[in-house]
Chains A and B, each alone.
Chain A
Amino acid sequence: ETGVTQTPRHLVMGMTNKKSLKCEQHLGHNAMYWYKQSAKKPLELMFVYNFKEQTENNSVPSRFSPECPNSSHLFLHLHTLQPEDSALYLCASSQGGLAGELFFGEGSRLTVL
């Protein structure tokens, strides 16, 4: 238990569906992140939020839409995804700064049919 909880753990959706991934951290951290992990590829940083403000959008397609209503919650809204978007989506949090250790959630395994 890392203090970062992600739901759902598994999600199957069609290309025309709209779904959301949820992340909640109980660590009092200031920063939250979405990473994408695909087979045989490095972890890819998608979005970064510091104190609810988005500070990084790593050229992510607009079919992925993040939302951070407060420092403890982070969402990733999904719509009109492609099969190549199938991956493990990891949420993480940290205190930020130079030595910020990332605490990851268990991930949401997404399959796009």
Chain B
Amino acid sequence: QKEVEQNSGPLSVPEGAIASLNCTYSDRGSQSFFWYRQYSGKSPELIMFIYSNGDKEDGRFTAQLNKASQYVSLLIRDSQPSDSATYLCAVPREKSSGDKLTFGTGTRLAVRP
């Protein structure tokens, strides 16, 4: 069983700061990585995915992947109170299927006004 590890938090940052969320995974052969956001009482929604080593930027969000270290992170620049949520890291269970995902427990982010 592939494992995905995340610090449960809460991670508390002031408004305007950079929030850094981290995730490690056990299967060295994993090739794609997903970040989902889940607001309290709501369902998860995809915010980013990354396949290649390095950085991928989308607005205020940057995903960083280091396959050698089996480490993927999500940076949120200029954090807003509306970013307060739980962020879930996910990895496909099978290389041939990108949608049977194994999720981490999630990191709760709290952005202080």
Taking beta carbons and an 8 Å cutoff, which residues of A are in contact with B? 2, 31, 33, 40-43, 45, 48, 56, 90, 94, 96-102, 104-107
Closest chain A residue to B46, Cβ basis: A101
Q: Is the interface of B mostly helix, strand, loop or mixed?
A: strand
Q: Which of A2, A56, A98 contacts B32 (CB 8 A)?
A: A98
* Distance between A60 CB and nearest chain B CB, rounded to angstroms: 14
Stretch at the interface among B12-20, B58-66, B67-75, B95-103: B95-103
Query: How far is B42's CA from A105's CA once the two chains are assembled, in angstroms?
Result: 9
Q: Is the interface of A mostly helix, strand, loop or mixed?
A: loop
Please state if B97 and A98 are interface contacts (CB–CB under 8 Å): yes
Q: Given A56-B100, A97-B99, A98-B98, A42 and B105 touching (CB < 8 A)?
A: yes
**What sequence of 0s and 1s flags, for each residue 27-68 of chain B, a beta carbon within 8 Å of any chain A beta carbon?**
000001000100000111110010000000000000000000
Q: Which of B44, B45, B99 contacts A31 (CB 8 A)?
A: B99
Please state if A100 and B103 are interface contacts (CB–CB under 8 Å): no
How many B residues are at the interface, by size bracket?
20 to 34
Q: Which residues of A contact B101 (CB under 8 A)?
A: 43, 45, 102
Q: Which residues of B contact A96 (CB under 8 A)?
A: 97, 99
A-B CB contact pairs (8 Å), 6 listed: A33-B99, A40-B8, A43-B101, A97-B98, A99-B32, A99-B49
Question: Does B93 belong to the interface (CB within 8 Å)?
Answer: yes
Query: How far is B104's CA from A31's CA once the two chains are assembled, in angstroms?
Result: 22
Q: Given A56-B100, A98-B98, A2 and B43 touching (CB < 8 A)?
A: yes
